[in-house]
Amino acid sequence: MDLTRIKNPTFLKQLNTEELELLAGEIRQFLIEKLSVTGGHLGANLGVVELTLALHKQFNSPEDKLIFDVGHQSYIHKMLTGRTEQFDTLRQYKGLCGFPKMTESEHDVWETGHSSTSLSAAMGMAIARDMKQANNYVVPIIGDGALTGGMALEALNHIGHEKKNITVILNDNEMSIAGNVGALHNALGRMRSAGKYNRVKDELEILLKRIPAVGGMIAQTAERVKDSMKYFMVPGMLFEEFGFTYFGPVDGHDFKDLEENIAYAKKTQGPVLVHVITQKGKGYYPAESDKKDKWHGVGPYKIDSGEKIKPANSAPAWSQVVSDTLENIAGKDERLAVITPAMILGSKLDKFQEKYPDRLFDVGIAEQHATTLSAGLATQGMKPFLAIYSTFLQRAYDQLVHDVCRQNLNVAFGIDRAGLVGADGETHQGVFDIAFLRHLPNMVIMMPKDENECQHMVNTAISYNEGPIAVRFPRGNGLGVEMDQELKTLPIGQWEVLKQGTDAVILTFGTTIAMSLAASEFMQKQGVQVEVINARFIKPLDEQILHDRMRKNIPILTVEEAVLKGGFGSAILEFAEENNYHPQIKRMGIPDRYIEHGNVKELLEEIDLTKEQIVVELKKLLAVSNDKQKRHDE
Ligand SMILES: Cc1ncc(C[n+]2csc(CCOP(=O)(O)OP(=O)(O)O)c2C)c(N)n1
Ligand SMILES: CC(=O)[C@@H](O)[C@H](O)COP(=O)(O)O
Ligand SMILES: [Mg+2]
C-alpha cells in the first residue's frame, strides 16, 4: 500500500488481522529505510507497530485522546495521521518533530519528550471530560521505563483514588534506554511470566454466580476464595491495589490478543491498565539482537549490514572524557560514587560500571530521587558525582534548592548535553541550567573550553569540598586537543585570557569561544584589538578581571549558548550595577523562546549566535563607546 496516501486512521476499522499484519510489515520496512538516512528512535518505534495500529483501530483519535509518554515512539502514530511523506525531514530543521507536536496534527493531543508525564496529563483530560460530561476515552501509552518516573506513580495513585475512566496502555519491552532497572521492573517481570488472569477471573465469577446462595454462607466463602485466588493469580496485583483493573500480559505483536483486550478494557468502568508485552527493535535483526539498547536511538546506518555510519569527527565524546576521568579518579578516591538517572549509555558510564559495579547507581528515570540521594551520600562524607543531562536536571529543581544548595552539600554535577542538542529539539535543549542554577546560593558552575580542561574540571569538582559544584559540557565530540597526563585542580572563579586586546572584551565560555576568537581575529585585521576571555567559571565570577575591565570602561560583549534571561550575561550586568560601573555591555545568547529541532549550526544561525553577529555587535559597541568618549572629551 502507498503509505503516503494515509491521511487519517479511520480506514483501519475495515482491516482484518491479515491485512493489519501486512500493513505492519510495510510500516516496519518504511521506518527501517527512512531512518537509515535520517536516524531517530528506531528501536522504540519498531516495537510499537502493532500496538499503535490496534489503538488507532479501536479508538477514535483525536476525540479519544492517545497520549504517548516520552513520545519518541510516536512515528507510527504520525504515519497514520497523515505525516508519512514528511519522514525525509524527521528531526531536521523546520522538519518533522521526533516527538508529538500539536502544531503538526490535531491527533497530537499532548506534547512529550520528557518522560513520565502522560498519566498526569491523562488525568487532567479525564477530569475535564467528566466536567464537560463528554464520553471520550483517555488513553495514555506509557513504557516500562517511563513508569519508573516519580510523576507516573503520583498519577497512578491519584487516578486509582478518583476511579477515573482512563485506559492506561503499559508498553513493556523490558527496556529503558538500556535495560530497565528497579523493583517495579522486577514486579513487571513476574507479571509477564504469570500468564493470563482476566479470563480465569471472569470464568470464576460466572461459576460462583451459579452456586445457589444458601444462606449466603457459600457465596461469602466463594467470594473469599476468589479474593484469595486473586492474590496468587492476578499478575497485575500491584495495579489492582492501585485501584486499576489489570488486563494482561497481552502479546503486543498479536493483533487478536491486542484487540480483544483493548475491547475488554473499553467496556470496563474505572481505571484500567492493559499490560502489553512488546519487543524493542522488532522486525530488524541488528536492532532486535542488540544487547545494549536495541537501537533505542540511532544515527544513519547501512540497512543490509546494520553498520552504523559514524560522523567524521574522531575526537572523543565529551561524555567519554568525563567518564574516563571518573574511572581514573575512582581508583584513587574511595569516596567517589557515580549516579545516573537511566542514562548510563548516553553518559558513557557502561565501562565505569563494569570496572566499579558497586560505585555506579542507575536509579531509573528518577532525577529528583537521584539528586536527593546524592545529597544523602554527601552528608556521610562520600563524593557523589551525578551525571545528568541539562534538560533532565530541570526535573530536580527543588531538590537542588532545598536539599543540596541550602544544606551546602558536597555534590558534584556533571551536566551533560549543556547547550543546544539539535535533533531532539525544544524539549531537550540544555539551555536553562545556568539560569536555574546561578541564583542558588553556594552553587559553583563551570564549563570547559576543550576536553583537556574538561578532565581538569571533573577533577576540580571531585576534589572541591566546600559545597555543590557543577561542570557543564555539550553533546557530541570534543575538539581533539592534547590531553595532559596529570589531572589538575583549577582555582575556583579564575578566568583565562585567551587573546589580548584593549579596545573591547568578549567574555565567553565553552562552545562559543571558537566563534568569539574568530570574530576577534576578524576585527584585528581592521585594527581593532578585542580581548577574548574564557569565563570558564560562570559562578563565581572572576571579580578581579571584572573590576579591572570595568574600571577602564572597556566595552563588554558576553556570548553564551544558554538563555539570556538569568544567564551569564545577566551576571555581568548585575556585577556592574552592584559596583556602580557603567560600561557599554551587550549580551548574546539564546532568546526568550523555545528553540526547535535541527542541526546545531542551523539553530545557531537562526538565533544569530554566530561569528558574523559578534562582529556586528562589537562594531555597534565600539561606535557607542567612541561617541560617548567624544562627547566626554568635548
Ligand atoms: C525526564 C526524562 N528522563 C530521561 C529521559 C531519557 N529517556 C528517553 S526514553 C527513555 C527510556 C524510556 O523507556 P520506556 O518508557 O520503557 O520506553 P521504550 O524506549 O522502552 O519504548 C529515557 C530514559 C527522558 N526522555 N525524560
Ligand atoms: C527520547 C530521549 O529523551 C532520549 O532518547 C534522548 O533522545 C537521548 O538523547 P541523546 O541522543 O543526546 O543521548
Ligand atoms: Mg521500555
- Segment 452-489, tens digit of pLDDT: 999 999 999 999 999 999 999 999 999 999 999 999 99
Q: Is 144 in the pocket of ligand 1 (CB under 6 A)?
A: yes
- Atom 7 of ligand 2, residue of closest alpha carbon: 424
Beta bridge partners of 415: 388, 472
- Atom 23 of ligand 1, residue of closest alpha carbon: 342
**How confident is the model at residue 342, as a pLDDT?**
98
Asked if residue 249 has a cis previous peptide bond (ω within 30° of 0), the answer is: yes
Query: What are the distances in angstroms from CA 345 to CA 91, 299, 340?
Result: 21, 15, 10
DSSP-derived 3-state class of residue 362:
strand
Q: What is the C-alpha end-to-end distance of the chain, expressed in Å?
A: 80
- Protein residues placing their CB within 5 Å of the ion ligand 3: 143-145, 173, 175
Q: Which of 472, 403, 407, 392 is nearest to 438 (CA)?
A: 472
The pTM of the full predicted model, rounded to 2 decimals, is 0.94
Quote the cell numbers at residue 31: 521506518
Question: From ligand 1's centre to the CA of 145, what distance in Å?
Answer: 6
Q: Is 586 in the pocket of ligand 2 (CB under 6 A)?
A: no
**How confident is the model at residue 105, as a pLDDT?**
98
Question: From ligand 3's centre to the CA of 154, what distance in Å?
Answer: 19
Q: Say whether 430 counts as a known binding-site residue.
A: no
Q: Which ligand is nearest to the CA of 98?
A: 2
The residue whose CB lies within 8 Å of the most ligand 1 atoms, and thus the one to mutate among 120, 319, 365, is 365
Query: What are the distances in angstroms from CA 634 to CA 6, 626, 628, 629, 631?
Result: 73, 12, 10, 9, 5
Give the whole-angstrom CA distance, residue 500 versus residue 497: 7
Q: Is the pLDDT of residue 361 over 60?
A: yes
Mean pLDDT computed over every residue of the chain: 95
The residue whose CB lies within 8 Å of the most ligand 1 atoms, and thus the one to mutate among 73, 171, 174, 177, is 177
Clarify whether 18 is annotated catalytic: no
Give the whole-angstrom CA distance, residue 415 versus residue 432: 11
Quote the cell numbers at residue 111: 506534547
Cβ–Cβ under 8 Å, residues 234 and 246? yes
Question: From ligand 2's centre to the CA of 146, what distance in Å?
Answer: 13
**How confident is the model at residue 234, as a pLDDT?**
61
**How confident is the model at residue 76, as a pLDDT?**
98
Q: Which residue carries 562589537 as its cell?
A: 618
Q: Is the pLDDT of residue 225 over 80?
A: no
**How confident is the model at residue 401, as a pLDDT?**
98
Instruction: Count Cα atoms within 13 angstroms, Cβ side, for 306.
Output: 13
Q: Say whether 299 counts as a known binding-site residue.
A: no
Q: pLDDT per residue over 181-219, tens digit each?
A: 999 999 998 888 776 545 455 666 666 666 665 556 666
* Of 129, 164, 395, 549, catalytic: 395
Angle at 319 between CA 540 and CA 185, to 5 degrees: 110
Question: From ligand 2's centre to the CA of 451, what distance in Å?
Answer: 22
Question: From ligand 1's centre to the CA of 449, what distance in Å?
Answer: 30
Tell me the average pLDDT across 21-41.
Answer: 98
**How confident is the model at residue 196, as a pLDDT?**
55
Q: Is the pLDDT of residue 226 over 70?
A: no
The residue whose CB lies within 8 Å of the most ligand 1 atoms, and thus the one to mutate among 70, 77, 114, 181, is 70
Cβ–Cβ under 8 Å, residues 312 and 330? no
Residue 424 CA: nearest ligand 2 atom is 7
Query: What are the distances in angstroms from CA 242 to CA 64, 237, 261, 471?
Result: 24, 9, 20, 41
Q: Is 424 in the pocket of ligand 2 (CB under 6 A)?
A: yes
Question: From ligand 1's centre to the CA of 181, what distance in Å?
Answer: 12
Give the whole-angstrom CA distance, residue 478 versus residue 447: 13
Q: Say whether 569 counts as a known binding-site residue.
A: no
Clarify whether 395 is annotated catalytic: yes
**How confident is the model at residue 149, as a pLDDT?**
97
Q: How many residues does the chain have?
A: 634
Q: Say whether 284 counts as a known binding-site residue.
A: yes
Quote the cell numbers at residue 426: 525544544
Q: Is 144 in the pocket of ligand 2 (CB under 6 A)?
A: no
Query: What are the distances in angstroms from CA 30 to CA 3, 40, 50, 287?
Result: 9, 13, 14, 15
Cβ–Cβ under 8 Å, residues 392 and 114? yes
Q: Which residue carries 554535577 as its cell?
A: 413
Give the whole-angstrom CA distance, residue 248 versus residue 254: 13
Q: Is the pLDDT of residue 537 over 60?
A: yes
Task: For the chain, state the CA radius of gyration.
Answer: 28
> Does ipTM exceed 0.90?
yes
Q: Is the pLDDT of residue 41 over 90?
A: yes
Q: Say whether 579 counts as a known binding-site residue.
A: no
Q: Is 175 in the pocket of ligand 1 (CB under 6 A)?
A: yes
Asked if residue 9 has a cis previous peptide bond (ω within 30° of 0), the answer is: no
- Atom 1 of ligand 2, residue of closest alpha carbon: 72
